[in-house]
Amino acid sequence: MKGVVNSIAYAGGLRLGEVPIPDISEVLKQPGRFVWIGLHEPDAEVLTEVQGEFALHDLAIEDATRAHQRPKLERYGDSLFAVLRTAHLDRATGAIEFGETHLFVGSNYVVSVRHGASLPYVEVRSRCEASPDLLAKGPGFVLYALMDFIVDQYFPLVDAFEDRLEGLEDDIFKQTLTRETTERIYQLKRNLLEVKRAVAPLIDMCNRLVRTDSALIPDDARVYFRDVYDHAIRINEMIDTLRELLTTALEANLSLISVSQNDAMKRLAGWAAIIGVPTMIAGIYGMNFKFMPELEWALGYPVTMAVMLAACGFLYYRFKRSGWL
């Protein structure tokens, strides 16, 4: 069926086998079993069929169909509906690709719906099946495994941001200042803000899962959500630190640009002062008055040139010592 990646039944932490969606309701009638379905950009028909098998809430299905939701955790009766943003870095282009994962969790089922760019959850399923004692905890542990996998994907992303920041710092303090450097700082700040919006709500979500009184999260499974909570806090703090460093880098970049502009203005002012001396003398002797001193003096021209050169040399020496030239 289009959009269905896996539909597998489990009992006692062990995999029983594939289950067609129309047969799920029959499988769930047997005690101690739960079904884990993985969907990737399913159409409305598939979601409607899944909704009928698990009696999912209409509002949650509407969100899963439309996607483009903010990260959140909602409770519908005895079931949970979670929305998480996925993100990974395209190594070829350097762009961040965001996606969404919608999770429906009940007492005997887990439905994951992926939209947009995201890694498949085959690795998560394999890790869970390799730990039957933990998988026996039921859908609550599967919810933890999926959330932990999604949150951990942010660490390489933040590491890449740190590398970019180091490159920007080298460009700011060791290379020629350009407009491109400022644009790169601004773009990195925008990327961090987008990641911040995806990560920050996870802290509250994990905190609610740790403290919730829902029977979906067994008491011995809550400690695992504290681990995800700690990871989300670490990522959030790393992002805040990077944003502060970027703000400082932007201020330093603008300050260095101002200093560079001031240096250029000082050089221009120094040369203008030097050129102003001969201009003034030449201007005086260029006036068309008949009676002016030294006009008929034989040494007038060489003396005037010598005065110009001496004055210009003296000004150049003074400006050079003061750092203006």
pLDDT digits (tens, 9 = 90+) for 190-220: 888 888 888 888 888 888 888 766 667 777 7
Query: Quick one: which of 206, 235, 200 has its CA closest to 221?
Result: 206
Residues 109 and 140: their CA atoms lie apart, in Å, by 10
Q: Which residue has the tokens 């006692």?
A: 12
Residues 221 and 162: beta-carbon distance below 8 Å: no
CATH of 1-134, one of 3.20.20.480, 3.30.460.20, 1.10.3720.10, 2.40.240.20: 3.30.460.20
Residues 262 and 260: their CA atoms lie apart, in Å, by 5
Instruction: Say what the pLDDT of residue 119 is.
Output: 78
Instruction: Say what the pLDDT of residue 77 is.
Output: 81
Instruction: Say what the pLDDT of residue 169 is.
Output: 77
pLDDT digits (tens, 9 = 90+) for 3-51: 788 888 988 888 888 888 888 888 888 888 889 998 888 888 888 888 8
**pTM for the model:** 0.75
Contacts of residue 210, defined as CB under 8 A and 6 or more positions apart, other chains included, come to 222, 225, 226, 229
Instruction: Say what the pLDDT of residue 324 is.
Output: 66
Instruction: Say what the pLDDT of residue 180 is.
Output: 77
pLDDT digits (tens, 9 = 90+) for 77-110: 888 899 998 888 777 777 788 888 999 998 888 9
Instruction: Say what the pLDDT of residue 284 is.
Output: 65
Residue 171 CA to chain centroid, in angstroms? 20
**Residue 100 CB neighbour total at 10 angstroms:** 22
User: In the sheet where 4-11 sits, what is the strand order?
Assistant: 14-18, 4-11, 33-40, 109-116, 96-106, 79-89, 72-76
pLDDT (average), residues 169-174 = 74
pLDDT digits (tens, 9 = 90+) for 120-154: 888 888 888 888 888 888 888 899 899 999 998 88
- CATH code 3.30.460.20 region(s) in the chain: 1-134
260-322: CATH superfamily? Magnesium transport protein CorA, transmembrane region (1.20.58.340)
| Mean residue pLDDT across the chain | 81
Residues 127 and 13: their CA atoms lie apart, in Å, by 12
Residues 200 and 71: their CA atoms lie apart, in Å, by 9
Indicate if the pLDDT at residue 160 is higher than 80. Answer: yes
pLDDT digits (tens, 9 = 90+) for 239-287: 888 888 888 877 777 777 776 666 667 777 777 777 777 777 676 666 6
How many residues are present in the chain?
A: 325
CA end-to-end distance (rounded Å), the chain: 76
Query: Quick one: which of 146, 167, 37, 144 has its CA closest to 94?
Result: 167
- CATH code 1.20.58.340 region(s) in the chain: 260-322
Instruction: Say what the pLDDT of residue 146 is.
Output: 92
Percent composition of the chain: helix, strand, coil (DSSP 3-state, to 5): 60, 15, 20
